[in-house]
Amino acid sequence: MAILKRSAKTPSGFDWAGLAWLFVFFWYFSGITQLLIQLTDTSGFAGFRQAFIMSGIWLAPMLLFPKKTRVMAAVIGVILWACSMASLGYFFIYQQEFSQSVIFIMFESNVSEAGEYMTQYFAWWIVLAFLAHTAFAIFLWTRLRPVYMPRGRAWITATALLVAIIGYPLAKQMARHDDVASGLEAFESRIEPAVPWQMLVAYHRYTQQLDGMQAMLTSSSNIAPLKNLKDQQAALPTTLVLVIGESTNRGRMHLYGYPRQTTPNLDQLKDQLEVFNNVITPRPYTIEALQQVLTFADEENPDLYLKTPSIVSVMKQAGYKTFWITNQQTMTKRNTMLTTFSEQADEQIYLNNNRNQNARQYDGDVVEPFTKALSDAAPRKLIVVHLLGTHMSYQYRYPPTFDKFTGREGVPAAIEDSKLELYNSYDNAVLYNDFVVSSLIKAYAKADPNGFLLYLSDHGEDVYDSPGRNILGRNEAKPTIPMYTVPFIAYASPKWKQTHDWNFDSIKNRPFTSSNLIHTWAQLAGLSFDELDTTRSLVSFDFKERPRLIGDPYAQKGLSDFAQMEKIDGQVPPAPKVVSQ
């Protein structure tokens, strides 16, 4: 019996069953969470695949030192189990995959806040799930046995495993990138779905991004305050809200003339809204666009975001308590600038800590913290809400109940069958975005504040909308109109309208770029200061129409006039873009 316990060789002489038990044991700690992610359709298949592959590296020491199989497996297993408990528990609570953003939230929270989270999310079934998870791991360990092969063959096999799983992919990533740091970063992304690399990579990237963010925060703290700032609202309780959307092309909104009913809630509120028809973004990428949208930077002065106050800083100088509620990924290399903006606020609420952007994280989660911020006792508040909006992959942006558009009704005939699913899923994402934005407006109206709410998207998205119907996404090198046309909608409370002129019918078709938002925002909020340029304010009598530049301001001849693209496509401004059936 002892011999059978040690080995159950096949006729070929190798214990394949023993090797399978070893692999399943090591895969289990990464695989259980990845399997749940797949079963719940929370994210794509890449994480599951990579966790499966990375689990194979633990077979190497088992083959080299078979007599110590149970001991080594126990030591490695305890480490993997501890890491898997963290990632599994996080998935149970948030239905998200563990990432560097979670590390950021953990380190940003104090003991009291951590205790509140534990109390809020504790459930008896989680304890049972942890016990079951642990018990099954122990069961798998009891099935392990040494797997023997000739010494030379064991070394060759172990080396081949390490080369195939680590060596070759690392070399491949190094060859694909121009520098070592970028190659290592790509390799880290490859191994991150598996424990314990999940924790190690998350912490490494957290420290990297934290260093970059701290440098930006230090730089922003040294920016001189605005000169001669005056506030017409200084003696009045005021609550102002800025809602930043994501990847939403206004041409796919029924509110702007699209034939499909993608904005039923905003349509119902239309009489209470100021809907501006001719606003574009300067760039089709989130970070690059918001560097201008949220600061005094623009296409001709792109570096001013490093040298001048952001909207958050401006409002803090005016005496507002500031909140930043975001459903964007918190800590990624691309999002460091956004996190820096958020850290300038007095309070931050980070909702999306997924490792992968292509994960189900619904914007409806912002409504509860938004309502809580509205009820904060501070008399003067700025609340910034940053949505995930209609960002690709579109099917992850809305719950199944919003899967309304599935057929060809209202779809242009030029859309091929192979493109229909993506076309429809984008419209469903717009439909859910309508629900979220309207919910924020309704929550704001219910609070009966003195102030206004402004909603715009960071940039648009081309989902087979342009002539030819072949373009999907955004590409600054090959710009199209849908990449730049964004919704720009304002709502004012009854109290605000009593003391402010809030009729913008005569200017709703003004050609405007969101790179000048800070000037418009300041004037709407009743602020004045030396740096304010009223000729750049959409709502000013002094507004001066000027070329709306788009493109990469750092590239030679990278800028162009958006009006030229409109002429090429046969559209005459200022009419809003309407997609025909």
The residue ranking higher by pLDDT, 514 or 334, is 514
3-state secondary structure of 173: helix
Neighbours of 469 (CB within 10 A): 17
pLDDT of 104 strictly over 50 = no
Cβ atoms 249, 466 nearer than 8 A: no
Mean pLDDT confidence for 332-349: 76
Sign of CA dihedral 92, 96, 102, 108: negative
Q: What distance lies between CA 148 and its chain's CA centroid? A: 48
Mean pLDDT of 505-514: 97
CA dist 572 and 563 (Å) reads 9
Q: Is 375 helix (H, G, I), strand (E, B) or coil?
A: coil
In this prediction, residue 393 carries a pLDDT of 86
- What pLDDT score was predicted for residue 502? 94
The encoded tokens of residue 352 equal: 């999306």
Predicted local confidence at residue 205, as pLDDT: 67
Cβ-based neighbour number of residue 485 at 10 Å: 30
DSSP 3-state assignment of 195? coil
Contact 326, 369 (CB under 8 A): no
Q: Note if the bond before 574 is cis, omega within 30 degrees.
A: yes
Mean of pLDDT values over 351-379: 85
**Could you say which DSSP state residue 199 is in?**
H
26-32: average pLDDT: 91
pLDDT digits (tens, 9 = 90+) for 184-205: 888 888 888 888 887 788 777 6
Task: Give the tokens for residue 494.
Answer: 């009854």
Which pLDDT does position 437 carry in this prediction? 98
- What pLDDT, on the 0 to 100 scale, is given for residue 183? 82
> For residue 559, what are its two tokens?
């800028």
Predicted confidence (pLDDT) per residue in 161-184, tens digit: 999 999 988 898 888 888 888 888
Q: How confident is the model at residue 3 (pLDDT cuts 50, 70, 90)?
A: very low
Provide the token pair at 114: 């951590």
pLDDT surpasses 90 at 320:
yes
- Name the pLDDT band for 317 (thresholds 50, 70, 90): very high
Asked whether 405 and 263 are in contact (CB, 8 A), the reply is no
pLDDT value of residue 110: 46
Instruction: Could you list the beta-strand ranges (E) of 353-485.
Output: 380-386, 452-457, 462-463, 472-473
Q: What is the pLDDT of residue 123?
A: 73
Indicate left, alpha or beta for 17 from its phi (over 0: left) and psi (-120 to 50: alpha): alpha
> Rounded to whole angstroms, how far apart are CA atoms 392 and 410?
21
What does the DSSP assignment read for 354-403? Answer: -S-SSB---GGGGHHHHHHHHT-S-SEEEEEEE--TTPSSGGGSS-GGG-
Which range of 2-16, 41-55, 286-300 scores highest in mean pLDDT? It is: 286-300
Residue 381 near residue 312, CB atoms below 8 Å? no
pLDDT > 90? residue 314: yes
Q: Region 559-570: what's the mean pLDDT?
A: 82
- Whether residue 11 has pLDDT greater than 60: no
Looking at the predicted structure, is the pLDDT value of residue 271 above 80? yes
pLDDT band for position 212 (cuts 50, 70, 90): low
Report yes or no: 335 and 357 within 8 Å, Cβ to Cβ. Answer: no
Q: Provide the token pair at 58.
A: 């633990």
In the predicted model, what is the mean pLDDT of residues 557-564?
92
Q: Which pLDDT band, with edges at 50, 70 and 90, does 339 fall under?
A: confident
**Alpha carbons 521 and 311: distance in angstroms, whole number:** 8
Residue 315 pLDDT more than 90? yes
Which of 117-121, 207-211, 262-266, 407-411 has the lowest average pLDDT? 117-121
Mean pLDDT of the chain: 87
| Cβ 237 vs Cβ 450: under 8 Å | yes
Where is average pLDDT lowest: 20-24, 246-250, 575-579?
Answer: 575-579
Q: Under 8 Å CB-to-CB from 545, ≥6 apart: which residues?
A: 510, 511
pLDDT at 354: 65
Whether 76 has a pLDDT exceeding 80, the answer reads yes
- In this model, does residue 452 exceed pLDDT 80? yes
Is 229 a residue whose pLDDT tops 50? yes
Q: Tens digit of pLDDT for each residue in 369-397?
A: 999 999 999 999 999 999 999 998 899 99
Q: What is the pLDDT of residue 574?
A: 38
- pLDDT number for residue 115: 53
DSSP state letters, 232-300: TTTTS-EEEEEEEE-S--GGG-GGGT-SS---HHHHHTGGGEEEESSEE-S-SSHHHHHHHHTSS-BTT
CA dist list (Å): 457 to 463, 509, 517, 573: 16, 17, 12, 20
| Whole-number pLDDT of residue 5 | 46
Look-up: residue for tokens 């703290």? 221
Q: Would you state the pLDDT for residue 119?
A: 54
> In the prediction, which pLDDT does 343 show?
85
In contact, 550 and 299? CB cutoff 8 Å: yes
pLDDT at 434: 98
- pLDDT at res. 96: 66
Q: Is residue 116 over pLDDT 50?
A: no
- What pLDDT is stored for residue 412 in this prediction? 95
pLDDT score at 122: 64
Least confident of 2-11, 461-470, 493-502: 2-11
What is the model's pLDDT at position 461?
94
User: Which residue stretches of 482-549 are H helix?
Assistant: 494-499, 517-524
For the record, the structure tokens of 514 come out as 């969101």
| Dihedral of the alpha carbons of 512, 517, 520, 526, in degrees to the nearest 10 | 170
Backbone angles phi, psi at 407, to 5 degrees: -105, -150
CB 140, CB 21: distance < 8 Å:
yes
pLDDT at 573: 37
Q: Which pTM does this prediction carry?
A: 0.69
**Tokens representing residue 108 in the block:** 């940003």
Q: How many CA atoms lie within 13 A of 15 on its CB side?
A: 22
User: What DSSP string describes 89-104?
Assistant: HHHHHHS----HHHHH
DSSP letter for each residue of 290-308: HHHHTSS-BTTBGGGGGTS
**Nearest CA-CA partner of 364 in 336, 345, 389, 393:** 389
pLDDT for the residue 6? 47
Pairing of strands 472-473, 488-492: unpaired
pLDDT > 70: what percent of the chain? 85
- Which residues, 6+ apart, have CB-to-CB distance to 316 below 8 Å? 322, 344, 346, 382
Average pLDDT over residues 237-246: 98
C-alpha count within 13 angstroms, C-beta hemisphere, residue 481: 25
- State the pLDDT confidence band at 20, using cuts at 50, 70 and 90: very high
pLDDT at 30 over 50: yes
Structure tokens at 67: 């007599």
Question: Residue 418: CA atoms inside 13 Å, Cβ hemisphere, count?
Answer: 3
Residues 408-440 have pLDDT tens digits of 999 999 999 999 999 999 999 999 999 999 999
Q: What domains can be seen in the chain, in order of their start residue?
A: 14-208 (no CATH), 237-568 (3.40.720.10)
pLDDT of residue 192: 80
